[in-house]
């Protein structure tokens, strides 16, 4: 049976779903869709804690059992996204090349856009080949926020 937890993040309310087999979905929901929740299901406590740590700036990677639904190709793309380091980006073409077929760029981009595990599978780290912030289901402002959060500009001393 799938269970759900809701947490507040700087980018809106996150809905985390899963069961004893792993986390199946993490997404941002409209505030009115998020019920008040007192108890977090035991299967979701690690995900809640790790997401909170990520937003607090103390976690750079996740250690969760993931169990998303998708095609074999989508799962290959999502697995490739997991290899993009915190604070770094890759292009859609990079992902297609890593999958062994540069011509699969559109299919890789589509699979990236269908990623059901917001932040944990870092689809926000994929950008256009020209460095542009292209396509993000959660809105480009969220993508920019996440990239800035992971790679803040450090003010250098003038002296």
Q: With helix as H, strand as E and coil as C, how does 43-73 read? A: HHHHHHHHHHHHHHCCCCCCCCCECCCCCHH
Pair 10, 42 in one domain:
yes
Sign, CA torsion 35/36/39/43: positive
The answer to whether 134 and 128 are in contact (CB under 8 A) is yes
Q: 48 near 77, Cβ under 8 Å?
A: no
Q: What is the pLDDT of residues 98-141, one digit of tens each?
A: 999 999 999 999 999 999 999 999 999 999 888 888 878 788 99
Q: Residues 76, 52: one domain?
A: no
Q: Provide the token pair at 67.
A: 């169990």
Q: Do residue 40 and residue 98 come from a single domain?
A: no
User: What range defines the domain where residue 129 resides?
Assistant: 72-150
Residue 66 lies in a domain: no
Residue 157 covered by a domain: no
Per-residue pLDDT at 149: 95
- Residue-wise pLDDT tens digits, 63-96: 999 999 999 999 999 999 999 999 999 999 999 9
Q: Has residue 133 been placed in a domain? A: yes
Q: Would the pLDDT of 41 be above 60?
A: yes
Provide the pLDDT confidence category of residue 158 given band limits of 50, 70 and 90: low
Q: Tell me, what's the pLDDT at 85?
A: 95
Looking at the fold, whether 89 and 42 belong to one and the same domain comes out as no
CATH code at position 125 = 1.10.10.10
Tell whether 67 is covered by a domain: no
Q: Given this model, what pLDDT does residue 157 score?
A: 54
Q: What percent of the chain has pLDDT above 90?
A: 78
Residue at 40 is within a domain: yes
Residues 99 and 139 in one domain: yes
15 is catalytic: no
As a whole number, mean pLDDT of residues 13-36 equals: 89
Q: Could you tell me which residues come within 8 angstroms of residue 143 by beta carbon, excluding any fewer than 6 positions away?
A: 124, 133, 136
Looking at every residue in the chain, the average pLDDT score rounds to 91
**pLDDT value at residue 132:** 87
- In the chain, the number of structural domains is 2
pLDDT confidence of residue 31: 75
Kindly state whether residues 80 and 143 are assigned to the same domain. Answer: yes
- 81, 34: one domain: no
Asked if residue 159 has pLDDT above 60, the reply is no
Catalytic residue among 5, 26, 123, 126: 123
The reply to whether 145 and 79 lie within a common domain is: yes
């Amino acid at each position: 049976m799938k269970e759900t937890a809701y947490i507040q993040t700087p980018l809106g309310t996150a809905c985390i779903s899963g069961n004893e087999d792993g986390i199946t979905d993490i997404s941002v929901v409209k505030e009115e869709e998020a019920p008040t929740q007192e108890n977090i299901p035991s299967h979701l406590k690690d995900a809640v804690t790790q997401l909170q740590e990520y937003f607090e700036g103390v976690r750079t990677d996740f250690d969760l059992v993931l169990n998303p639904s998708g095609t074999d190709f989508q799962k290959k793309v999502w697995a490739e996204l997991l290899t993009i380091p915190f604070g770094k980006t890759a292009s859609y073409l990079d992902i297609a090349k890593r999958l062994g077929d540069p011509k699969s760029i559109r299919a890789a981009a589509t699979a990236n856009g269908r990623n059901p595990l917001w932040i944990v599978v870092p689809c926000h780290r994929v950008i256009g080949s020209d460095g542009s912030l292209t396509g993000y289901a959660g809105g480009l402002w969220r993508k920019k926020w996440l990239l800035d959060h992971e790679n803040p500009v450090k003010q250098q001393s003038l002296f």
